[in-house]
Amino acid sequence: MGTTGLFGRGLFKAATGAVSTLILSAAMSASAFAEDTKEILGQPTDKAMGWQLPGSALKVKTENFYDFGLFPLITFICLLVLVLLAWIVIRYNKKANPVPAKFSHNTLIEIVWTVVPVLILVVVAIYSLSLLRDYNDMPKPDVVVKATGNQWFWTYDYPELGVTDIESRLREDAKDLKTAKAAGIPYLLEVDNVLVVPVNRVVHVQTTAADVIHSFTVPAFGFKIDAVPGRLNNTWFKADKVGTYYGQCSELCGKDHAYMPIEIKVVSDAEFDAFIIKQGGKTRAMLASEATASAAAAEEAAASAAVTASAEASASAAAPAADAATPATASASAAPAVTPASAAVAP
Ligand SMILES: [Cu+2]
């Protein structure tokens, strides 16, 4: 290394300088961020870097995979390549190494640089597939919501609860930074009609579109799902904190693509039921009791039908052997058996 020229040393200095500047600026921005800003759940924070605060357990898992898996791995590989590159440039340039070696292969090193990346990719794949499976295997949903993308707003339906066509558009005062600040709402994110869902419940999200492709995306819940005309795409989330969560259409869909945000309000079960009733729908409890009542009614009807059928069967069996008076007796004896059942159905 004694012959390392000025060029080599200069480059090394530049490289270490760049790395230390990067580290320093990252540290400075992190401390500045800690002082100046407080992250707000469900929305982006000014000057912040990295993820929004997570709003569900699945998002936490996704973030952990990136923060403790992919990001350190990417950083390590980048630094390794940088160091190797710097070493080659400094140690083996024309001045430092005037007589180059003539060999062209090294079996061991070639095996290593093939096998090690394969192993790294296998580990990444195992974690990725586990995460994909979690996103894919939806638990039994408590609420189904359907989000339809339109140019340029969203419409929301609760198909099972009888609530349809809630149009959700960007609020006028959110379109301008000054008016948004004055109103205390997030710029370009606040809508007139929000999508309301209950907390700690599995929400099944169906997406489609009425015109062109849109994308239903909410960072805090870690989903981004295309809304495609003529298709019904599915995802799910389970919000673990009450609050308001913002997202945006994430598929370029025309001139007002930037002005069709998504706002999800996560509320308690009681508030959710109140919202559904206000929208003219039926709550899950109402539907469940209706279902129980109609099941009971169906059971009663089936029971009374069976009684009638058996009465008729006995009547018809009695008929051939009896004289003209017997059918009247048979129907008279069948009648009381039917009556209590039909009386029970009536109320
Ligand atoms: Cu869109």
Angle 110-93-89 (CA atoms, 0-180°, nearest 5)? 60
Angle 142-143-148 (CA atoms, 0-180°, nearest 5)? 155
Task: Find the 285 Cα to ligand 1 centroid distance in Å.
Answer: 34
pLDDT band at 317 (very low <50, low <70, confident <90, very high): low
Of the candidates 292, 322, 212, the residue with the CA atom closest to the CA atom of residue 256: 212
Task: Find the 261 Cα to ligand 1 centroid distance in Å.
Answer: 9
Average pLDDT rounded to a whole number, residues 56-62: 95
Task: Find the 161 Cα to ligand 1 centroid distance in Å.
Answer: 26
Tell me, what's the pLDDT at 282? 92
Q: Among the listed ranges 26-35, 79-88, 166-175, 257-266, which one has the minimum average pLDDT value?
A: 26-35
Sheet architecture: strand order including 143-150: 163-168, 153-158, 143-150, 203-209, 233-237
Of the candidates 174, 144, 179, 172, the residue with the CA atom closest to the CA atom of residue 158: 144
pLDDT at 200 over 60: yes
pLDDT at 72 over 90: yes
Task: Find the 233 Cα to ligand 1 centroid distance in Å.
Answer: 15
Each residue's pLDDT tens digit, 251-295: 999 999 999 999 999 999 999 999 999 999 999 889 989 989 999
Give the number of other Cβ atoms within 10 Å of residue 341's Cβ: 17
Task: Find the 248 Cα to ligand 1 centroid distance in Å.
Answer: 8
pTM score of the predicted model: 0.72
CA 327 to chain centre: 67
pLDDT band at 10 (very low <50, low <70, confident <90, very high): very low
Separation between Cα atoms, residue 282 and residue 106, nearest integer Å: 73
Tell me, what's the pLDDT at 107? 95
Task: Find the 214 Cα to ligand 1 centroid distance in Å.
Answer: 4
Task: Find the 117 Cα to ligand 1 centroid distance in Å.
Answer: 39
Task: Find the 319 Cα to ligand 1 centroid distance in Å.
Answer: 74
Task: Find the 211 Cα to ligand 1 centroid distance in Å.
Answer: 9
pLDDT band at 315 (very low <50, low <70, confident <90, very high): low
Q: Which residues surround ligand 1, an ion (CB under 5 A)?
A: 214, 249, 253
Task: Find the 147 Cα to ligand 1 centroid distance in Å.
Answer: 11
Residues across the chain: 347
Q: Among the listed ranges 25-34, 55-64, 251-260, 301-310, which one has the minimum average pLDDT value?
A: 25-34
Task: Find the 238 Cα to ligand 1 centroid distance in Å.
Answer: 24
Task: Find the 215 Cα to ligand 1 centroid distance in Å.
Answer: 6
Each residue's pLDDT tens digit, 207-250: 999 999 999 999 999 999 999 999 999 999 999 999 999 999 99
Task: Find the 149 Cα to ligand 1 centroid distance in Å.
Answer: 6
What integer best gives the mean pLDDT of the chain?
Answer: 84
pLDDT at 340 over 90: no
Task: Find the 75 Cα to ligand 1 centroid distance in Å.
Answer: 34
Tell me, what's the pLDDT at 248? 96
Task: Find the 65 Cα to ligand 1 centroid distance in Å.
Answer: 29
Task: Find the 207 Cα to ligand 1 centroid distance in Å.
Answer: 12
- What percent of the chain shows pLDDT beyond 90? 67
